[in-house]
A = this chain, B = another copy of it.
């Protein structure tokens, strides 16, 4: 058998043109007659031609259809959804993603970047706005289209598509106050974190301070924010500060874990303790009461990021700061 894939040259020969003309037709760039176009496309279809992306990307720096996407993790939280949306959009637009995770560790981000740049991608999507010196140096040297997602950055390196975490925290802080909460704690978890979404805590604390409700020292666990960390964080926090009447969790998974702790400890929610999360995650649908949280449209974020990147790659005009709105859900647990 050994039926090698047909190359552009074979398509061109079948259509009776040079391979350059065939290349032009298939990329729809440059000039060619309608008749030529029809012949080339017909032969390409007949031979079941599949372009060798490797050769294309290699041959011309500008012809790459590869995009690198880096997020802290894929399991748990919302990043899986974000990546799904990015991938779906980029696929639709004719790009191929290289997805990686870095567990919030700068050295892993750097290693990933080095490795992906060896594939000469057309653009990158990174998470957060804090990067190590090594990462910054490589990004500068590469001068690639780049979208930073998640934390909105009003002075992005290139493009930022994100959420205003500060405002999320601030609004939630106001809600805590309006529900009469005054002795308030915060529980988060951030594996070796340079602080993704840390702005949420800052916004929250600022809101509390406007009314003199001084927040207690936040409980930040050195792990990924998950159910168990929520349970454990609530336990730690409430042991240290039994006087608390409300806890704000870094996300809904932690909040659900926190509610489980309250239940186990015989504390009623929202009677004894008010609880809120963030993210509008599916898991909250299992609660008896509607969780107080902030809904985030991960799909919209991923889609917007992918579209912005492609526009930049293509040289179109792009808004370089794009905020994805989030919606406060007052809920019944606060």
Contact = CB atoms under 8 A, between A and B. Distances in A.
Contact of A57 (B50, B54, B141): B54
Contact of A100 (B75, B87, B286): B87
A282 B81 contact: no
A303 interface: no
A74 interface: yes
A84 B83 CA distance: 13
Contact of A74 (B84, B112, B117): B84
A260 interface: yes
Contact of A58 (B55, B81, B84, B99): B55
B288 A119 contact: no
A326 interface: no
A229 to B, nearest CB: 10
Contact of A99 (B81, B97, B288): B97
A76 B227 contact: no
A96 B115 contact: yes
Interface string A222-248: 000011101100000000000000000
Given A74-B84, A114-B50, A285 B257 contact: yes
Given A227-B286, A285-B227, A119 B54 contact: yes
Interface in A26-72: 50-55, 57-58
B260 A52 contact: no
A157 to B, nearest CB: 17
Question: Could you say how many copies of this chain the assembly holds?
Answer: 2
A116 interface: yes
Interface string A87-124: 10001000011111100000000011011111110000
A202 to B, nearest CB: 28
Contact of A80 (B58, B76, B100, B259): B76
Interface in A187-224: none
A3 interface: yes
Contacts of A3: 141
A100 to B, nearest CB: 7
Contacts of A73: 80, 84
B226 A117 contact: no
A120 B80 contact: no
Given A100-B87, A115-B96, A263-B288, A76 B282 contact: yes
Interface string A247-289: 0000001001101100110000000000000000011011110
Contacts of A101: 84, 87
A52 to B, nearest CB: 6
Given A50-B114, A55-B58, 12 more contacts: A50-B117, A50-B118, A54-B118, A73-B80, A74-B74, A75-B81, A87-B100, A91-B100, A91-B115, A98-B99, A227-B282, A256-B286
Interface of A: 3, 50-55, 57-58, 73-76, 78, 80-81, 83-84, 87, 91, 96-101, 111-112, 114-120, 141, 226-228, 230-231, 253, 256-257, 259-260, 263-264, 282-283, 285-288
Report the 7 A-B pairs with minimum CB-CB distance, sorted nearest first: A75-B80, A260-B286, A74-B80, A75-B81, A53-B118, A99-B99, A54-B58
